[in-house]
Amino acid sequence: MAIQEIKSKINDNKQEKERKLLSTALHLFSEKGIKKTSIQDIVHDAGIAKGTFYLYFKDKYELQDVLLAKTSHEFFSNACKEANKYHFDRLDDKIIFIIDSIIDALIARPNILKFIQKNLSLGLYSEKLTDLLDSEELGIKELFINEVKEKDIPLEYPEMTLFMIIELVSSTVFTSIVEKQPLPIEEFKPHLYKTIRLLINEKLEK
Amino acid sequence: MAIQEIKSKINDNKQEKERKLLSTALHLFSEKGIKKTSIQDIVHDAGIAKGTFYLYFKDKYELQDVLLAKTSHEFFSNACKEANKYHFDRLDDKIIFIIDSIIDALIARPNILKFIQKNLSLGLYSEKLTDLLDSEELGIKELFINEVKEKDIPLEYPEMTLFMIIELVSSTVFTSIVEKQPLPIEEFKPHLYKTIRLLINEKLEK
Amino acid sequence: MAIQEIKSKINDNKQEKERKLLSTALHLFSEKGIKKTSIQDIVHDAGIAKGTFYLYFKDKYELQDVLLAKTSHEFFSNACKEANKYHFDRLDDKIIFIIDSIIDALIARPNILKFIQKNLSLGLYSEKLTDLLDSEELGIKELFINEVKEKDIPLEYPEMTLFMIIELVSSTVFTSIVEKQPLPIEEFKPHLYKTIRLLINEKLEK
Amino acid sequence: MAIQEIKSKINDNKQEKERKLLSTALHLFSEKGIKKTSIQDIVHDAGIAKGTFYLYFKDKYELQDVLLAKTSHEFFSNACKEANKYHFDRLDDKIIFIIDSIIDALIARPNILKFIQKNLSLGLYSEKLTDLLDSEELGIKELFINEVKEKDIPLEYPEMTLFMIIELVSSTVFTSIVEKQPLPIEEFKPHLYKTIRLLINEKLEK
DNA sequence: TATGAATGAGGGTTCATTCAT
DNA sequence: GATGAATGAACCCTCATTCAT
């Protein structure tokens, strides 16, 4: 076997270990909460030795950060892929479709929502994402900016608008799904979507 | 000394202990973070015996919940009091004044912001507030609803609008102050306030 | 029961715990060495809970320091008591008697010698001794100084002479007993005692 | 390249690795103490693989023993070399010159002194020295014995005298430099040197 | 010879909680 | 109600050591 092959095999093995730790941790964090999940639990369920954990992560919280960014990012990524299957005349329709997909996905996995809490926006803005983002796929950020330009939507600072939309969604949806406050999610959706349209089509005479 | 007086003194003593625990805990939570603050630390700094803690709170997290609601509420309460010193012709001006006061107060105490995180809205919506709210003071909620009615502002669901404003502020301001993302707070303020005006004066022809 | 009594009972209990920890630790340190003795071992053998250890000592090494001073001191203390039973015309005879007693005691407990190593002088000079020394008993230090004065022994700096004698004994005896270098202890003794006499009766024409 | 050369190169490489391990370990032991220095630390700083350590030493303590003997020996070796540059009429002057050189060297490197502790005499008496001593250089031991003979100094057991001088120095100097007890080293020196003269020129009429 | 990823035993330490006083 | 000494489970983390490459 060539040295090249050996090295790549070792590398594969390492990646596999890291992947296993991440997926096991996500499962446990969602199931029992971060506080009640110990490193012991994670390595036990992952079938990995205790010491090995520290070869990959400094502590539970570094793992948590990576996981938050990664998981949130996946929600955006999946929803965008889904949206790209269809054609939308209007940007607001497309954005709301994406957000609606994400909300439905969150409803379907309430435990993961409890893990993400109000930090969905990390999926777009976390610094931990650098590894994941060298993929050439178009995220919601690029999509939004591009379409604003193409369709001549009169937004002064589209990045800022998107940021506020995402934070608004992230924050209200968590409260609505988990605490059913101020309304259960299905009743809340129309209010939220109306507001999103407002933000995208801002026409403030001032 | 009359029995009454003795009882009231004992009661005072109890309230004093609880108050001491709360203030000490807030200080420690802000300074070192919740995770790194132990009950030991709290009772030590508060000058209270270990066992006594459990006469007042089930555990650290019950105390944390109370503290989150209480502290957030104080920010709103102070800002409202300040606003009531002046006269505002427009509701959006008044709301933005209040929110600006709160943001400035948060900037001044970044450690407390780190404790509150994105949960500022607990100051309005937490169930732990029942004790605090039997005061007859007008909060921002009542203020908002009343003025919408008085001034005939065409908002279909004013409660919903306020909820979204608060969550939007809570979420974006934390990120902006703590991580200076996407803009430092002073640069971000104009964008935020423009959006708040938009939400209050919504005129979406649809 | 009066509060006084209760408090003193608690105090007795605490002293008893500390005593137990010290004696157990000495036994284990002598038997297996410090490095191989864990706090677990100590509390286990002492029949005390793990957490309790930390109420009395910061760590294994604080305990070790106390123990070194205490144990060394006992050797001196016992030897002095023994010497005081007899009358000596000469100071050098008395000092050598004391040192001979100590050496014999060390020979009898080689494990304890391995623990003390070359630090026998801590029994006279350690700062950890303050607790033990408020006893009014005359140590070798006072004994030496007093007799030098009384007997007009022409020593310029008796403290310094004693210090060097003690360090010399401490250092050579360890090597001689443990490693039988350069001679086994019984053969080495005469050389050592001759040197001690020399130091006490210094008559250096210079 | 001739096989000879290759072999010698490999050998050089090996010696280089061992040398590197020793020097790195000495540095770490001095800096952080033995207990807090792990094999991990040593190989990391030495730039050598973990497994490789075990090709050279059984464990940290074997390395420590070698290092103690080696380092102590160097102090004697350097001081003797220095002394040989000059001519001394009297043996006691020469010995005191050597010891003074050693003490000054120790003062200059207090961390190394903390590592050596009271074991300076290992530089003369350790069994680990066999490798180093097949050099034909005259050590202090040979020097002392020879001169006693040559100068007809009336010492019955010169080896014993030297042993006691070395142990006395080793023990007192450590305490004096590190703990400044009973006197700081510079003030202690005259007392020590006076005693050394006494031992060399013993004239106890008894 | 040299490597360094993986191991998992074992250490120190913390801490919420109890309970006799 | 108040105390704080004692507990011991549970944690994190380090580390010497192994072994396939």
Q: What DSSP assignment string belongs to B21-48?
A: HHHHHHHHHHHH-STT--HHHHHHHHT-
Handedness of CA D132, D136, D137, D138 (dihedral sign): positive
Q: Which residues lie below 8 Å from residue A176, measured CB to CB, with a gap of 6+?
A: A182, A183, A184, A185, A188
Would the CB atoms of D168 and C167 count as touching at under 8 Å? Answer: yes
d(Cα C69, Cα C116) in Å, to the nearest integer? 9
Query: Does the nearest atom of strand E lie within 7 Å of A11's Cβ?
Result: no
Asked if A167 and B172 come within 8 Å (Cβ–Cβ), the reply is yes
Rounded Cα distance between A173 and A110, Å, is 11
Instruction: List the single residue in B171, B197, B206 with the smallest CB-CB distance to A167.
Output: B171
CA angle B59, B62, B66 (to 5 degrees): 145
More confident residue, C20 or B9: C20
Please indicate whether, in this complex, the C-beta atoms of A199 and B198 are within 8 angstroms of each other: yes
Low-confidence ranges of chain B (pLDDT < 70): 1-12, 132-136, 203-206
Asked if A164 and B192 touch (Cβ cutoff 8 Å), the reply is yes
**Is there a contact between B50 and B40 (Cβ–Cβ < 8 Å)?**
yes
The answer to whether B29 touches B64, Cβ cutoff 8 Å, is: yes
Name the nt closest to C52 by C-alpha to C1': F6
pLDDT at site C15: 81
Q: Cβ contacts (< 8 Å) between C171 and chain D: which residues? A: 118, 121, 167-168, 170-171
Measured between alpha carbons, how far is C75 from C107 in angstroms, rounded to an integer?
12
Classify residue A178 as exposed, middle or buried by CB count within 10 Å of its CB (0-12, 13-18, 19+). Answer: middle
Q: Which residue from B7, B35, D154, D170 is spatially nearest to A36, judged by alpha carbons?
A: B35
Rounded to the nearest angstrom, the gap between the alpha carbon of residue A126 and the centroid of all alpha carbons in its chain is: 10
Nearest to C71 by CA among C96, C38, C34, C39: C34
Cβ(B162)–Cβ(B123) below 8 Å: no
Q: Is the pLDDT of residue D206 over 50?
A: no
Q: Is the CB of B181 under 7 A from strand E?
A: no
Q: What is the pLDDT of residue D204?
A: 44
Please give the pLDDT value at position B10: 58
Select the residue of D118, D160, D204 nearest C171 (Cβ to Cβ): D118
Does the CB of B53 fall within 7 Å of any strand E atom?
Answer: yes
The 10s digit of each residue's pLDDT in A114-169 is 999 999 999 999 888 777 666 667 889 999 999 999 999 999 999 999 999 999 99
Q: A74 pLDDT band (50/70/90 cuts)?
A: very high
Dihedral sign, Cα of residue B164, residue B167, residue B171, residue B174: positive
Query: For strand F, which nucleotides have at least one atom less than 7 Å from a protein CB?
Result: 1-21
> Which pLDDT does position A137 carry in this prediction?
76
List the single range of A90-99, A125-134, B172-181, D53-62 with lowest mean pLDDT: A125-134
Give CA–CA dist C104/C85, Å, rounded. Answer: 17
Residue D164 pLDDT greater than 80, yes or no? yes
Distance, CA of D81 to C1' of E21, in Å: 73
List CB contacts of D73: < 8 A, sequence separation 6 or more: D122, D123, D124, D126, D129, D132
pLDDT score of A1 more than 60: no
Q: What are the chain B neighbours of A197 within 8 Å (beta carbons)?
A: 204, 206
| Nucleotide E12: closest residue by CA–C1' | C39
Mean pLDDT of A100-116: 97
Structure tokens at A73: 């990012």
Cβ B200 vs Cβ B153: under 8 Å: yes
Q: What Å value separates CA C54 and C1' F19?
A: 40
Alpha-carbon span C115 to C22, nearest angstrom: 14
Q: Which two tokens stand for residue D158?
A: 């010169």
Contacts of B118 in chain A (CB under 8 A): 118-119, 171
Do the Cβ atoms of C159 and D182 come within 8 Å?
yes
String of DSSP letters for A103-156 = HHHHHH-HHHHHHHTT-TTHHHH-GGGHHHHTS----HHHHHHHHHHHTT---S
- How wide is the angle at C-alpha C62 spanned by C-alphas C60 and C66, nearest 5°? 115
Written as six digits, the tokens of C205 are: 């024409």
Percentage of chain A modeled with pLDDT above 70: 90
Instruction: Kindly list the partner chains of chain C, i.e. chains with 3 or more CB atom pairs below 8 Å.
Output: D
Under DSSP, is residue C38 helix (H, G, I), strand (E, B) or coil?
coil
Dist. CA B133–CA B69, nearest whole Å:
11
Maximal CA-CA distance, chain B: 72
Distance CA A19, CA A15 (A): 6
Give yes or no for a contact between C100 and C41, defined as CB atoms under 8 angstroms apart: no
Cβ distance B132 to B76 under 8 Å?
no
Q: Do A171 and B202 touch (CB under 8 A)?
A: no
* Nucleotide E1 C1' to residue D10 CA (A): 10
Residue A177 to residue A182: CA distance in whole angstroms:
10
CA C147/CA A84 separation, integer angstroms: 102
Q: For residue A70, what are the contacts with CB-CB under 8 A and spacing of at least 6? A: A22, A128, A129, A132
User: Please, which residues have CB within 8 angstroms of residue A3's CB and are 6 or more apart in sequence?
Assistant: none
Cα gap D103→D113, rounded to integer Å? 10
B204 contacts on A by Cβ (under 8 Å): 194, 197-198, 201
Q: Which nt has its C1' nearest the CA of C40? A: E11
Using a CB-CB cut-off of 8 Å, the residues of chain D touching C37 are none
For residue D7, pLDDT beyond 60: no
Q: Which residues contact C201 (CB under 8 A, 6 or more apart)?
A: C92, C153, D204
**DSSP, res C151:** T
**d(CA C198, nearest CA chain D) in Å:** 6
Distance CA C177, CA C106 (A): 9
Packing angle of the helix pair D185-200, C158-179 (nearest 10 deg): 70
Name the residue closest to the C1' of F6 by its CA.
C52
Which run of H or of E encompasses B98? Answer: helix B91-108
Q: Do A170 and B171 touch (CB under 8 A)?
A: yes
Q: How far is CA D99 from CA D72, D167, D180, D193, in A?
A: 13, 12, 18, 9
Chain A residues touching residue B199 (CB < 8 angstroms):
195, 198
The pLDDT tens digits for C115-153 are 999 999 999 988 887 776 666 678 899 999 999 999 999
Using alpha carbons, select from D122, D111, D113 the residue that is nearest to residue D166.
D122
Q: For residue range D171-203, list pLDDT tens digits in order.
A: 999 999 999 989 999 999 999 999 999 999 986
Q: pLDDT tens across D87-146, in order?
A: 999 999 999 999 999 999 999 999 999 999 999 999 998 887 777 666 667 889 999 999
Task: Please give the model's pTM, rounded to 2 decimal places.
Answer: 0.87
C-alpha dihedral sign at D78, D84, D88, D91: positive
pLDDT at D175: 95
Query: What is the rounded CA–CA span in Å between residue D112 and residue D72?
Result: 10
